[in-house]
Structure 1
Amino acid sequence: MPRPTTKISNYRPAVGIAVFNSQGQVWLGKRFGEKGPHTWQMPQGGIDKGEATETAAARELWEETGIRLHDVTPLGEVQDWLFYDFPLEYRGAKATKGWSGQRQKWYAFRFHGNEKTIDLKSHGPQEFSKWKWAELSEAPSLIVPFKRKVYERLVSEFEHFARPIR
């Protein structure tokens, strides 16, 4: 994915996590308080100052889903940073904190834990109101449009994880 023309330092460093079950489906959460068809996404969040991307991925996974590292096995990662821009109407909003968009490092994991341990309230504030397993190919049509190119890239990068384990 090409880098944006805006300075990289204007993009919030973040991680994204694709969690696959044994059937090859990916974990999607419905954004808390959001309505409409484009409210589902994979866990993602900012990298704290001085934090390694792998550490941030584990932290964000737990904070947003309650899934701990002992419930997953690492599968791989996207080698590049993936970028998206916030729409102009979002810029300047409190949630964007002055960033032009995000640059994300993405990781894939296989879930082998008990689904009953998935806890969307494990850490506040709550990011998701509910969750589901879905086909990876569906994810780009369920995400907000300004993140769609990132999700299309994830489909191509992680499609080999989106198969049932034999």
Structure 2
Amino acid sequence: MTMIQDRDTSELGYRPCVGVMLVNSAGEAFVGRRIDTKEGDFWQMPQGGVDEGEDLREAALRELWEETGVIAEKIAIIGQTREPLRYDLPDELIGKLWGGLYRGQEQHWFLARFEGTDDDVDLEAHETPEFCEFRWVPASTLPDLIVPFKKRVYRAIVTEFADLI
């Protein structure tokens, strides 16, 4: 149990979130290097919060576009995780992200086949870019590239989508 400003963090909920594992025709997954990462060489798949009342699929398409510039017409959604996946923030980040309202995220992940080219990726499509560069990697390497506190989630995603990739 961690305390932030005299508040038990176990009382905090999980931020509703979606993520997209975007795979190309070679079965490689898209990862971006976050602009705001100050420590380590960590890469992640597109993900982000779900607005209140927003459909999960629509949220996934919005987040994909905001973070990669890839439009819905350039992908085909071919899978979704059976259940949401949760992770907790490390103690040092609790209370510092998302207005201190959440202890982690509850994520619904989608698997999407990319039907475009690298020219269809525009990391500056959204006003505030999330990533400074991107690359395609074997899906099996995803847990090795993400920040440590999300590794379990990435292992679960790779395992669940393995037969569809």
Tell me the CA shift for residue 123 of structure 1: 0.4
Q: What is residue 28 of structure 2 aligned with on the other side? A: 25
Q: What is residue 153 of structure 1 aligned with on the other side? A: 156
Whether contact under 8 Å (1:20, 1:161) holds in the other structure is no
Q: What is residue 63 of structure 1 aligned with on the other side? A: 66
Q: Which runs of 4+ in 1 moved over 6 A?
A: none
**Quick one: distance in 1 between partners of 2:97 and 2:163?**
38
Alignment pair present for 1:45 and 2:57? no
Any stretches of 5+ residues in structure 1 without a counterpart? 1-5
**Quick one: distance in 1 between partners of 2:146 and 2:114?**
22
Alignment pair present for 1:118 and 2:118? no
Q: What is residue 3 of structure 1 aligned with on the other side? A: none
Alignment pair present for 1:135 and 2:138? yes
**CA offsets per residue over residues 92-124 of structure 1, 9 Å max, x none?**
114453211000000000001122020000002
**CA offsets per residue over residues 18-71 of structure 1, 9 Å max, x none?**
000000000000011325545100000000011010110000000000001100
More strand by share: 2
Normalising by the residue count of structure 2, what TM-score does the alignment of the two structures yield?
Answer: 0.89
Tell me the CA shift for residue 161 of structure 1: 3.1
**Quick one: distance in 2 between partners of 1:88 and 1:35?**
17
* Percent of matched pairs sharing the same residue: 41
Whether contact under 8 Å (1:33, 1:129) holds in the other structure is no
**Quick one: distance in 1 between partners of 2:102 and 2:114?**
32
Provide closer, same or farther for how the CA distance between residues 96 and 44 of structure 1 changes in structure 2, counting only shifts above 3 A. Answer: farther
Deviates more, 1:47-56 or 1:90-99: 90-99
Any stretches of 5+ residues in structure 2 without a counterpart? 1-9
RMSD, matched Cα: 1.5
Provide closer, same or farther for how the CA distance between residues 31 and 116 of structure 1 changes in structure 2, counting only shifts above 3 A. Answer: same
| Of 80, 91, 96, the match for 2:94 | 91
